[in-house]
Structure 1
């Protein structure tokens, strides 16, 4: 299965992760606590870990073409949730 990962430097990792989980909980399978989350999409799974100064996002897709799509969905939602905080998101796969 294709994998991708991003380490995003931010003091708001826990807040961003919780906002994403709340946003998607009504239509996707979501499990989360204060520091970790799992979101299951039709095309793959997103795991997140919030530390004091970063948010680590790992994606596992069913197919290679789904990985780019999941990266785009996560990135656009993270940027929207961060509002005025500039985030640098670099995917490694």
Structure 2
């Protein structure tokens, strides 16, 4: 199992959590709570958590390519929603469990 943990600083973390989840819910199952959400991407599950100034992404996939695809989907969509803040400084730490 391959894993990734990513984060990005933004003063609008809660807003972007909701926007991302509403968008993703058009194609995949999303369980949105107050400060976090579980997203069932085809490549594997991802939990997104919003703090006061950071979005945190924790994903898993059976394949390393799945992790890269997941990160790409997140980056493309968040960059669109947060266009006023681009370029965002994404920090990713990949591993294996």
Normalising TM by the smaller chain, what interval? over 0.9
SS of the counterpart of 2:8?
A: strand
TM-score normalized by the length of structure 1: 0.93
Structure 1 ranges of 4+ moved more than 6 A: none
The whole-number CA distance in structure 2 between the counterparts of 1:80 and 1:34 is 22
Q: How many residues are paired up? A: 93
Looking at secondary structure, tell me which structure has more strand per residue.
2
RMSD: 1.0
Q: CA deviation at 1:90?
A: 2.0
Structure 1 residue runs of 5 or longer lacking an equivalent are none
Q: Measure how far apart 1:42 and its partner are.
A: 1.3
1:63 deviation in Å?
A: 1.0
Residue 77 of structure 2 corresponds to residue 88 of structure 1? no
Distance 2:7 2:14 in 1: 13
Which sections of structure 2, spanning at least 5 residues, go unmatched? none
- What is the CA-CA distance between 1:3 and the residue it aligns to? 0.5
Displacement of 1:28 = 0.5
Structure 1 residue 6: Cα displacement: 1.1
